[in-house]
Amino acid sequence: MPQNKTIPKTKGEFLLGNLRQMKANPFQALCDWRRDYGDLVSFRLAVRHFYLISHPKLIEQALIKQSDIFVKMYDPKKPTGLALVLGQGLVTSQGELWQQQRRLMQPVFQRRNLALLLPQIVTAGNNLLARWRLLGDGAHVNLSDEMMQVTLEVITQTMFSTSVLDKIERIAPALDTLLRYAAKSVINPLRIPLFIPTQANREFNAASSLLDDLIYGIIEQRRAQPAAHSDLLDMLLNASDENGELMSDKQIRDEVITIFTAGHETTANLLTWTLYLLARHPDVLAKLRQELDTLLHGEIPTAEDLQQFVYTRAVLNESMRLRPPVGIMMRKIIKDTEIDGHSLKQGRLAMFSIYNIHHHPDFWPEPEQFDPERFLNTESRRFSFMPFGTGERICIGNHFALLESQLLLSMILQHFDLQLLDTDEAEIEMAVTLKPKGGVPAKLVVRSRHH
């Protein structure tokens, strides 16, 4: 038996371990630990033990070769983290239930089905542009809020073929409350159970029932008057397994909230970071605009046009490398195992840092530079680039997200110039997703038509 290599441990406090550091700035903590201790390090948050994993080879050994040992941490009796919000949706469920749901939903997200949803994405894009034109030339906006609103509009149009914009005033803050609570529940094992009416718990429960009422209401309405919609809800309501079994309302609710959550904040972050990076790199922006002007001549792109967006895709990929919308993935280790000669203990949690992998100097020369050219060659980046995760649980919505991002980005850049109001670099905040702290204040400049 080879001598096991020891895994370095972070320095921490006697009882709390690294809880204080992690609560203060989880993003910074994970970066510092990789820098100070390497690609595999163990840390502790009070009674919970974690491994932080930041190397492509270790990802492959854990998530691909031992996906039966590194599993999602869902426990229906004691949900924590995202499961508090998403129930047993695709992101959180595991085992048989997950496999069955994935099979049911895979066809929904095939490319040819997604092409049917383009018009709804265009509608959302046009609504955004119209809103901006009303604000007028030189108006100040926060790009984070604007992108949040447009992706929420996309998801409601494509989910329900209706705009739920009248309800968005309530949906967006409710989701935000739920996700922040979920993020804290992962970091802090000492949280107070939900049935005890602390203020945070009351807010969580109120937000939760608001969303439930809305979504069950929409499902009920649709079941009562089934119309021919080609939207995601229709596809979910009609998806059946080999025995013709349909999903229960509870399961549909979980998947709807999952698509809603997974599909809106992440894409909003991708668009926000991309617009921010383009504003800071005028040379890249000029090259991107050249591709758009040559291909589109000011028109709205079709599905065929999107196929030709070579540089646009490189820009989005480099944006996801530099600022991956989802910074970490978590798994529970269900039996003692080893990766790369290190033993890992059963019952501990593995945290895979997508951010650290995307900035790993062994795989990315000058990792802090924004350089879309990296993605114009065809070298294989399996495991060193994984903005959508990897393995059997890779994001089911990845084609949808890229389609939506290319479309919205091209619509925005054809009509507006965005000037950053803050010259400092945007600080990164991690709450499940990676977002710019305080958003991205910008000035809208209407682009004159000079073709």
Do the domain assignments include residue 172? yes
Do the domain assignments include residue 2? no
Q: What is the pLDDT of residue 226?
A: 72
The mean per-residue pLDDT over the stretch 314-325 comes to: 97
CA distance 248 to 254: 10
Strand partners, 333: 70
CA distance 421 to 45: 38
Is the separation of the CB atoms in 236 and 106 below 8 Å?
no
Give kind and range of the element (H or E) at residue 338.
strand 337-339
Is the separation of the CB atoms in 94 and 393 below 8 Å?
no
Do the domain assignments include residue 343? yes
Q: What is the pLDDT of residue 168?
A: 66
If DSSP codes are grouped into helix, strand and coil, which group holds residue 248? coil
Give kind and range of the element (H or E) at residue 40.
strand 40-45
Percentage of the chain lying above the pLDDT 70 cut? 94
Per-range mean pLDDT, top range of 72-81, 122-131, 257-266: 122-131
CA distance 347 to 332: 7
Q: What is the pLDDT of residue 260?
A: 81
The mean per-residue pLDDT over the stretch 314-323 comes to: 98
Q: What is the pLDDT of residue 450?
A: 52
pLDDT band at 333 (very low <50, low <70, confident <90, very high): very high
CA distance 350 to 49: 9
Strand residues in 354-427 grouped as ranges (E)? 416-420
Q: What is the pLDDT of residue 81?
A: 73
pLDDT at 189 over 90: no
The mean per-residue pLDDT over the stretch 309-317 comes to: 97
The mean per-residue pLDDT over the stretch 214-233 comes to: 80
Q: What is the pLDDT of residue 163?
A: 57
pLDDT at 451 over 50: no
Do the domain assignments include residue 152? yes
The CATH number of the domain holding residue 126 is 1.10.630.10
Is the separation of the CB atoms in 318 and 371 below 8 Å?
yes
pLDDT band at 209 (very low <50, low <70, confident <90, very high): very high
pLDDT at 130 over 90: yes
pLDDT band at 289 (very low <50, low <70, confident <90, very high): very high
Do the domain assignments include residue 411? yes
Do the domain assignments include residue 244? yes
Who wins on pLDDT, 40 or 391? 40
pLDDT at 433 over 70: yes
Q: What is the pLDDT of residue 112?
A: 79
Residue 384 has phi, psi (to 5 degrees) of -95, -10
pLDDT band at 3 (very low <50, low <70, confident <90, very high): low
Total domain count for the chain? Answer: 1
Residue 290: give the domain boundaries.
19-366+376-446
If DSSP codes are grouped into helix, strand and coil, which group holds residue 52? strand
pLDDT at 430 over 50: yes
Who wins on pLDDT, 182 or 66? 66
The mean per-residue pLDDT over the stretch 69-87 comes to: 78
Q: Provide the CA 329 distance to its chain's centre, in angstroms.
A: 11
pLDDT band at 287 (very low <50, low <70, confident <90, very high): very high
Q: What is the pLDDT of residue 110?
A: 81
- Report CA Rg, the chain: 22
Is the separation of the CB atoms in 374 and 318 below 8 Å?
yes
Which one-letter DSSP state was computed for residue 39?
S
Q: What is the pTM of this model?
A: 0.91
CA distance 178 to 184: 10
pLDDT at 65 over 90: yes
Do the domain assignments include residue 10? no
pLDDT at 43 over 50: yes
CA distance 14 to 85: 32
CA distance 28 to 428: 9
Do the domain assignments include residue 11? no
Q: What is the pLDDT of residue 166?
A: 65
If DSSP codes are grouped into helix, strand and coil, which group holds residue 70? strand
AA letter at 236: L
If DSSP codes are grouped into helix, strand and coil, which group holds residue 222? helix
Who wins on pLDDT, 3 or 53? 53
